[in-house]
Structure 1
Amino acid sequence: MKHVVVIGGGHAGIEAAYIAARMGMDTTLLTMNLDQIGQMSCNPSIGGVGKGHMVRELDALGGAMGRLIDATGIHFRILNESRGVAVRGPRAQADKVKYRIAARHLLEHTPNLRLRQGMAAALLWREGTQGLRGVELLDGSVLPCEAVVVTSGTFLNGCILIGEKRLEAGRAGEPASTHLAEQLRSLGLRHRRLKTGTSPRLAKASIDFSRLEVQPGDDPPRPFSFFSPGIPQPQVPCHIVHTTRDTEAIVRENLPKSSLYGGHIEGVGPRYCPSIEDKFVKFPDKGHHQIFVEPESLETEEIYLAGLSTSMPPDVQVRMVRSLPGFEAAEILRPGYAIEYDSFDPLQLRQDLSVASLEGVWFAGQINGTTGYEEAAGQGLLAGINAVRGLRGQEPIVLGREQAYLGVMVDDLVTKGTDEPYRMLTARAEHRLGLACDLADGRLLAVAREVGALDPAELAQVEAKVARRERLKVQCEAAWVTQTSPFGAIAAGAGLRLEAGLSLSDLFRRQQIGPAEADACLGLLEGWDDAQAGWTPATERDLLLFDLRYAPYREREARLLEGQRAWDHVRIPSDLRVEHLHGISKEVLEKLALHRPETLGQASRIPGITPAAVTILHLLIHRARGASSM
């Protein structure tokens, strides 16, 4: 029987192992410490704008993260709710202690999946880097396998920095992985150092919460997963505080002591999650910066300061924290720190996240240059799916940019690469009108069937919801609105004068029809109030209005996509020697050699490659195929 080994028990590793096992593959998750599976090393939260979309997508395909946060979340909010369905992003604060326990429990009770504690030292092949045969552990034992998914997080040559102090570690209290890092480097893979960081954790009793701005969660809280029965944990508020002039003065005065500005850090940090030092240096005109005060767990008294990531010495961190209103007597339980680690150029990956030069190897998570739990989880899910499909001789699952944020992320990584920690943003998705997170289950239904990880009841639930949505659209097209009809009375109440009859769909396209009027109209339709698993009337009403009102824009986008898809179906032969092509500029040839795109569509998305160059490349491929067939 063939076997998959997943290296790493973080969010990428959880998803890779869980999905592989749910697909029926014999799977082992190897991690340094079984008690740290699912550990939230940084902010104890899941989701957000863009990130929440990906969690919904991986849930629709059979992933774990949505279920885990629903089981352990203590503060749920929908971000961007006033800005429209397409860019809404669910976010939840986790009870990080319960999240870790729930993650391990889920994996331990998943058929086909075994957990193993140990440190990976090397990957083993039969000849060169062909014919993967196993993973060698630091103790000399070997885990036989035909496929491996490496989800090493920040552990590869990891180094923690606090002020001038430098400590080899994958994260606080855990050793770095140096043997596997050196092997991957020795195999000629292009690598770079990246950096991320964490904020200090404080004692709850030392904070005066009466001086902070309360940030309540949604009531009722709305689950992440399409399959969760509800939210079982008690809900608690978060709080907001802002930095002061004293905070800025302390930071600027001590910049030379920071690991980042003292010259101790080599790696590049995340642009969209800067340290507090970076915030004051790079945004000097901003008077203050917002800090989120978030409980880490109902089981502990630790508080996390999201937005105060720092690598200052501990004594400076104390002064910084105590400069915040309400924190004058604050006690730091764990200081913040920066961490540097090895990542490998994602341009060396195929679109299925396999490493082009290493047979049987897939990379997922921070090893590919990303930052964030959700980005890691999404890659882990796709890498796990494709490792299984690779062993079964099946075509990989490659999501298009118009299908999912997961597809946008992977295409960005393997086509454009990244020179800084990559974070998902809604702005990266040019087709985001069609990527509303609440529609992810229906949008990815065909892919979910092909993956085969959802159980029959889950699949039936999604199919029933999609069918009901289609019936609702038909009802709205058939329902006729006149001045004398019940619908007409509702329209008149909204200030609409109907000169002629129109369908209910057309009525819903009028901006004067708000949620209350739409609910009243829908209440007149047969079956609208019938209970069904996964069917929430308020959400379905919003999705219906969104679908009807943005249909013309999506249709225009679909016409543009048709032209682009033609290029995505033209494969570039793997043995094509791009350096020998004539009629293409030297710059384009260099980019093709570096990025090694698999299709013309992928080539067209590489920065600097013009449509004219793609057309010439298409002609040259066509000519080469014609010559080889003679």
Structure 2
Amino acid sequence: MRLVVIGGGHAGIEAAHIAARMGVPTTLLTMNLDQIGQMSCNPSIGGVGKGHMVRELDALGGLMGRLADRSGIHFRILNGSRGMAVRGPRAQADRVKYRIAARNALEATPGLRLVQGMAACFRWEGGRLEGVELQDGSFLPCDAAVLTSGTFLNGRILIGARKVDAGRAGEPPSTQLADQLRALGLRCRRLKTGTSPRINRATIDFSRLEAQAGDPDPRPFSFYGEGIHLPQVPCHIVHTTPETERAVRENLDRSSMYGGHVEGVGPRYCPSIEDKFVKFPDKTSHQIFVEPDSLETQEIYLAGLSTSMPVDVQERMVRSLPGFEAAEILRPGYAIEYDSFDPLQLTRGLAVDGLPGLWFAGQINGTTGYEEAAGQGLMAGINAARWLRGQAPVILGRDQAYIGVMIDDLVTKGTDEPYRMLTARAEHRLGLACDVADTRLLPVAREVGALAPAELARAEAKAGRRARLHDQCREAWVTPTSPFGPVAAAAGLSLAAGLSLFDLLKRQQITPDLADAALALLEGWDAPQPGWEPAAERDLLLFEARYQDFHAREARILAGQRAWDHVRIPVDFRVEHLPGLSNEVKEKLQRHRPETLGQASRIPGITPAAVTLLHLLIERGAPEA
């Protein structure tokens, strides 16, 4: 019962760590032990949608939230003035300290060993995975493997017309493994991503930039970590100028992308600066975030200036920004294209269909972003470990987690461009607030078994206290003469009849301060407890009270959807001969290979009527070919 995880990026870290925490002997194989946890793009973790996934990782025993807290130098809650469902924590990490923290965490994990080397190919014998051959001729025996190759499979860096075979700047690509996967018949496509130039801090005039401070009281990502201890520093904002646009437009033919050198499809939601000026011609300027790379170095990352222009054009673009007239580029930006494989070839547990013992996670599945990779790595590691122990995979529902939304999107709909998590992708986002991920995913955390007993007990205690608070608020009765009467009066509410405190909190006139006054009257409201933050719990209670009707409506919808999700489509169910289904529906069922009726219902073009008919045909049994 041995597992090998290939790749030391964000997906590989989570897969190896969680599997070892679950008691499976695990080896993490990476090209360079010093590059474990490397942030190849901008040095940030989280954001709207992405921050939700980091909290979910932490709730299940993952590492990313704890690593961000140990290395974070700038924390902010995005969308802080909006509803709890779409607020997202984000942190600037110290790139150097994050990498060190990641390696230290893995080295301290019992049952996990680190090996430096490059995977050349997998070896199967009699339909069973035997192990991984390395390029140096050595062999790692294993019974299961998780491949988290990032941008290394046939990776190629592009700067203008210059092309360099590389998986990342300064590191070789993985060609043998990519060729084997293609030879095995897996559907492959080329994708592209890019990075921005990094600047010498000493050559920037920060007095001309707009400072952006972090939150005065930064909140950590992790529910169970040690908190935030590093010095906090500001980021800055600058905007492109007409000269920036001229530099781009006059040299479009020298760009890798517009010069015809790029094969792969780039990310829609993280476009290059060339794309921004070409696709949004009416926008006079674009915002650039000036982000510190590390407290240990003088490097500054220009988020929003991703480019594949030649270095001389990059220098002209950078120096066109206010305060950057004398700026020196330490590392130029570049585009990188690489092999990824159609995620429709995966099961809902991220196992590769037809290749027993193999799981894919991260950019190999067509996603972009550290958080998306980490979420897949965690679930692939969990399910590989459970497969080795003869257990069924853990499948997160779309109503349970953003990680579940992402994986369902990938394996059900596929993607033809680098996939990025957005809150808009989650139709049940009212129930997916990131601040309650620990209690929301508590049943799954129990099943996975990777949290320490004290951590699990902490989540259990918080869930119990929230349930008691709801009961108290529903039982407390508000009348003009009750202890809560002055709160209602201060809000300008005239109560003709009594109502529960929970119903009072639904009223928009009840401000956070008035809610605090009412809750202070409840026994034990502000009693100290690890992880219990009264202000955050008050906001959560107000959110739940005011959106109760929406939650109830969503619950009714979910009840119907869950019925479909529990109806499995037999593996040997042949759709090509099914009567009553259109050719389009048959083609999509054959291509997407849904495992359940619920999954089939989410495939674009599959109508509810087709799903109902499919259900009937499954119950009757498929006709003979």
**TM-score, normalised with respect to structure 1:** 0.98
Which residue, out of 124, 141, 144, partners 1:144?
141
Q: Identify the residue that residue 96 of structure 2 maps to in structure 1.
A: 97
In the alignment, the residues of structure 2 paired with residue 192 and residue 308 of structure 1 have an alpha-carbon distance, to the nearest angstrom, of 26
Greater CA drift, 524-533 or 114-123: 524-533
Q: Identify the residue that residue 31 of structure 1 maps to in structure 2.
A: 30
How far off is 1:230 after superposition? 1.5
Q: Identify the residue that residue 155 of structure 1 maps to in structure 2.
A: 152
In the alignment, the residues of structure 1 paired with residue 620 and residue 13 of structure 2 have an alpha-carbon distance, to the nearest angstrom, of 46
Which residue, out of 397, 413, 417, partners 1:420?
417
Q: Is the 8 A contact 2:577 2:623 kept in 1?
A: no
Structure 2: state its 5+ residue gaps: none
Task: Name the SS of the counterpart of 2:81 in structure 1.
Answer: helix
How far off is 1:465 after superposition? 0.3
Which amino acid letter does the alignment assign opposite residue 135 of structure 1? Answer: V
Task: Name the SS of the counterpart of 2:493 in structure 1.
Answer: coil
Q: Identify the residue that residue 583 of structure 1 maps to in structure 2.
A: 580
How far off is 1:625 after superposition? 6.8
Q: Identify the residue that residue 432 of structure 2 maps to in structure 1.
A: 435
In the alignment, the residues of structure 1 paired with residue 22 and residue 464 of structure 2 have an alpha-carbon distance, to the nearest angstrom, of 25
2:218 corresponds to 1:218: no
How far off is 1:229 after superposition? 3.0
Which amino acid letter does the alignment assign opposite residue 67 of structure 1? Answer: R
Greater CA drift, 36-45 or 566-575: 566-575
Q: Identify the residue that residue 448 of structure 1 maps to in structure 2.
A: 445
Which residue, out of 237, 241, 256, partners 1:240?
237
Q: Identify the residue that residue 300 of structure 1 maps to in structure 2.
A: 297
Q: Identify the residue that residue 71 of structure 1 maps to in structure 2.
A: 70
Superposition pairs of residues 369-388 of structure 1, within 5 angstroms? 369-388=366-385
Q: Is the 8 A contact 2:252 2:258 kept in 1?
A: yes
Superposition pairs of residues 363-512 of structure 1, within 5 angstroms? 363-512=360-509
2:143 corresponds to 1:108: no
Which amino acid letter does the alignment assign opposite residue 41 of structure 2? Answer: C
How far off is 1:498 after superposition? 2.1
In the alignment, the residues of structure 2 paired with residue 581 and residue 356 of structure 1 have an alpha-carbon distance, to the nearest angstrom, of 23
Which residue, out of 530, 537, 547, partners 2:534?
537
Q: Is the 8 A contact 2:578 2:623 kept in 1?
A: no
How far off is 1:188 after superposition? 0.4
In the alignment, the residues of structure 2 paired with residue 445 and residue 505 of structure 1 have an alpha-carbon distance, to the nearest angstrom, of 25
Superposition pairs of residues 510-525 of structure 1, within 5 angstroms? 510-525=507-522
2:292 corresponds to 1:266: no
How far off is 1:576 after superposition? 1.3
Task: Name the SS of the counterpart of 1:82 in structure 2.
Answer: coil
Distance 1:625 1:164, change over 3 A: closer
In the alignment, the residues of structure 1 paired with residue 455 and residue 25 of structure 2 have an alpha-carbon distance, to the nearest angstrom, of 22
Q: Identify the residue that residue 310 of structure 1 maps to in structure 2.
A: 307
How far off is 1:499 after superposition? 2.2
Which residue, out of 186, 190, 193, partners 2:190?
193
Distance 1:179 1:286, change over 3 A: same
In the alignment, the residues of structure 1 paired with residue 255 and residue 534 of structure 2 have an alpha-carbon distance, to the nearest angstrom, of 52
Per-residue CA shift, 1:403-429, capped at 9, x if unaligned?
A: 110110000000000000000000000
Structure 1: state its 5+ residue gaps: none
Q: Is the 8 A contact 2:192 2:264 kept in 1?
A: yes
2:82 corresponds to 1:83: yes
Task: Name the SS of the counterpart of 1:579 in structure 2.
Answer: coil
How far off is 1:626 after superposition? 10
Which residue, out of 240, 247, 250, partners 1:253?
250
How far off is 1:491 after superposition? 2.1
Per-residue CA shift, 1:50-92, capped at 9, x if unaligned?
A: 0000111111000000000011100000001111100100000
How far off is 1:257 after superposition? 0.4
In the alignment, the residues of structure 2 paired with residue 618 and residue 144 of structure 1 have an alpha-carbon distance, to the nearest angstrom, of 43
In the alignment, the residues of structure 2 paired with residue 508 and residue 584 of structure 1 have an alpha-carbon distance, to the nearest angstrom, of 50
Q: Identify the residue that residue 356 of structure 1 maps to in structure 2.
A: 353
How far off is 1:547 after superposition? 1.0
Q: Identify the residue that residue 54 of structure 2 maps to in structure 1.
A: 55
Per-residue CA shift, 1:407-454, capped at 9, x if unaligned?
A: 100000000000000000000000000100011111110000000000
Which amino acid letter does the alignment assign opposite residue 601 of structure 1? Answer: G
Q: Is the 8 A contact 2:47 2:78 kept in 1?
A: yes
Q: Identify the residue that residue 603 of structure 2 maps to in structure 1.
A: 606
Task: Name the SS of the counterpart of 1:532 in structure 2.
Answer: coil
How far off is 1:16 after superposition? 0.1
In the alignment, the residues of structure 2 paired with residue 246 and residue 315 of structure 1 have an alpha-carbon distance, to the nearest angstrom, of 14
In the alignment, the residues of structure 2 paired with residue 41 and residue 7 of structure 1 have an alpha-carbon distance, to the nearest angstrom, of 17
Greater CA drift, 8-17 or 540-549: 540-549
Q: Identify the residue that residue 563 of structure 1 maps to in structure 2.
A: 560
Which amino acid letter does the alignment assign opposite residue 221 of structure 1? Answer: P
How far off is 1:490 after superposition? 2.0
Q: Is the 8 A contact 2:578 2:622 kept in 1?
A: no
How far off is 1:477 after superposition? 1.4
Q: Identify the residue that residue 176 of structure 1 maps to in structure 2.
A: 173
Q: Identify the residue that residue 41 of structure 1 maps to in structure 2.
A: 40
Q: Identify the residue that residue 549 of structure 1 maps to in structure 2.
A: 546
In the alignment, the residues of structure 2 paired with residue 200 and residue 269 of structure 1 have an alpha-carbon distance, to the nearest angstrom, of 18
2:224 corresponds to 1:227: yes
Greater CA drift, 39-48 or 562-571: 562-571
How far off is 1:487 after superposition? 1.8
In the alignment, the residues of structure 2 paired with residue 223 and residue 540 of structure 1 have an alpha-carbon distance, to the nearest angstrom, of 16
Q: Identify the residue that residue 331 of structure 1 maps to in structure 2.
A: 328
How far off is 1:177 after superposition? 0.4
Q: Identify the residue that residue 9 of structure 2 maps to in structure 1.
A: 10
Task: Name the SS of the counterpart of 1:439 in structure 2.
Answer: helix
In the alignment, the residues of structure 1 paired with residue 235 and residue 20 of structure 2 have an alpha-carbon distance, to the nearest angstrom, of 36
How far off is 1:501 after superposition? 2.0
Which amino acid letter does the alignment assign opposite residue 580 of structure 1? Answer: H
Task: Name the SS of the counterpart of 2:430 in structure 1.
Answer: helix
How far off is 1:622 after superposition? 1.2
Q: Identify the residue that residue 572 of structure 1 maps to in structure 2.
A: 569
Q: Is the 8 A contact 2:265 2:417 kept in 1?
A: yes
Per-residue CA shift, 1:304-362, capped at 9, x if unaligned?
A: 00000000000000000000011111110000000000000000000000000211000
In the alignment, the residues of structure 2 paired with residue 554 and residue 145 of structure 1 have an alpha-carbon distance, to the nearest angstrom, of 46
In the alignment, the residues of structure 1 paired with residue 624 and residue 243 of structure 2 have an alpha-carbon distance, to the nearest angstrom, of 73
**TM-score, normalised with respect to structure 2:** 0.99
Task: Name the SS of the counterpart of 2:621 in structure 1.
Answer: helix
2:116 corresponds to 1:117: yes
**% same residue:** 77
Greater CA drift, 511-520 or 376-385: 511-520
Please provide the CA RMSD for this pair.
1.1
In the alignment, the residues of structure 2 paired with residue 121 and residue 78 of structure 1 have an alpha-carbon distance, to the nearest angstrom, of 43
In the alignment, the residues of structure 1 paired with residue 494 and residue 382 of structure 2 have an alpha-carbon distance, to the nearest angstrom, of 54
Q: Is the 8 A contact 2:9 2:148 kept in 1?
A: yes
In the alignment, the residues of structure 1 paired with residue 472 and residue 609 of structure 2 have an alpha-carbon distance, to the nearest angstrom, of 47
Q: Identify the residue that residue 199 of structure 2 maps to in structure 1.
A: 202
Greater CA drift, 310-319 or 472-481: 472-481
Task: Name the SS of the counterpart of 1:379 in structure 2.
Answer: helix
In the alignment, the residues of structure 2 paired with residue 627 and residue 569 of structure 1 have an alpha-carbon distance, to the nearest angstrom, of 25
